[in-house]
Homo-oligomer: A and B are copies of this chain.
Amino acid sequence: MNTSEKSLSRLLKGSLKRVDKEISINIKDEEKLITLTAGHLIKAKGKKIRPLLTLLIARILNYKGSADVTLAVCIEFIHNATLLHDDVIDAGKIRRGKMSANEIWGNKVSVLVGDYLLSRAFKLMVKNKSLKLLEILSQTSLILARGQIQDVGNNQNVNLSEKKYLSIINAKTAELFRISCYLPTIITNQDRKTQKIFNDFGFNFGMAFQLSDDILDYFGNSKKMGKNIGKDFFEGKVTYPIIHCFRQSDKKSKRIIAKLFLKKRRNKKDLNLILSLMKKTNTYERSAEFVRKFAKKAKTNINKFEGSKYKVYLVELVDHLIIREK
């Protein structure tokens, strides 16, 4: 942790503690397998970026109640439910540097504990008695599922357009970032302008975050990230680097890429081939530029908000969590 992260942690110490406590209470079930599986994932050292955003923005907006903590827990539960289901789907083997839950307990348990967390999130929100919040959360949960379905539906499709790709990462990632930032404006009854500022900030940050993730899958450091390089590629997932590389390639290279993605399985050698084609087409540089574009938008959004010395933390979070340079 750098100095800024430390002071952010200090600022939100009380709220973060309450989030952890609420999480523990809500995954403690009479069925120990649930507590174990859910705990394995949630208590792993994730960045908890979404809850952090909710708590920080609630603080920025001078929120005094306890709904920010409940929301943060709900959002983390929804996120973890999608992770559990994502690991089943992609047969992901490593999550947050540990073995993924499905590797240990099997596909079925992963799916069902995901369902449990999703139900728990709704149950928790019902206690909050706000239909407005429930409406937003259920809509987001729907969009997340749709985004993942579209993601799956475009597997191995090298003709995926940039526009469609952006709409998919919006649904599967930026949407939850968006409401993590937007919901605090609802519980503090902000005016439309302020709502829009944080809403748009969340969206742009989420887009930058997913784009970064997709880029690091080709250009990242596996030790630092806690997952292996090339995961998307091996699975046949078409992300921005592929879209860019394919578009910028000559006919011959295009054919090579298309062929690679038609294969049932791609190996290390295939990955190296793709990486060399990406080098030719400056894929890393152009992709990183694209990330910076969304990051800049997010920062511009937040700069429109006047007051609160804490808003600088949001800018720092954006800078910290996206790729800046190689």
Contacts and interface: CB of A to CB of B under 8 A. Distances in A.
B85 A91 contact: no
A129 interface: yes
Given A126-B135, A149-B116, A88 B102 contact: no
A26 to B, nearest CB: 10
B264 A115 contact: no
A5 interface: no
A153 interface: yes
Interface string A98-133: 010111111111011111101110110011010100
B126 A142 contact: no
A111 B88 contact: yes
A155 B263 CA distance: 36
Contacts of A103: 91
B112 A141 contact: no
A139 interface: yes
A221 to B, nearest CB: 27
A88 B105 CA distance: 12
Nearest to A96: B91
Interface stretch (A9-17, A28-36, A42-50, A311-319): A28-36
A225 interface: no
A70 interface: no
A118 B116 contact: no
Nearest to A153: B33
15 contacts: A33-B149, A33-B153, A81-B115, A88-B108, A89-B107, A89-B108, A90-B108, A91-B96, A108-B148, A115-B141, A116-B142, A116-B145, A119-B141, A123-B138, A131-B131
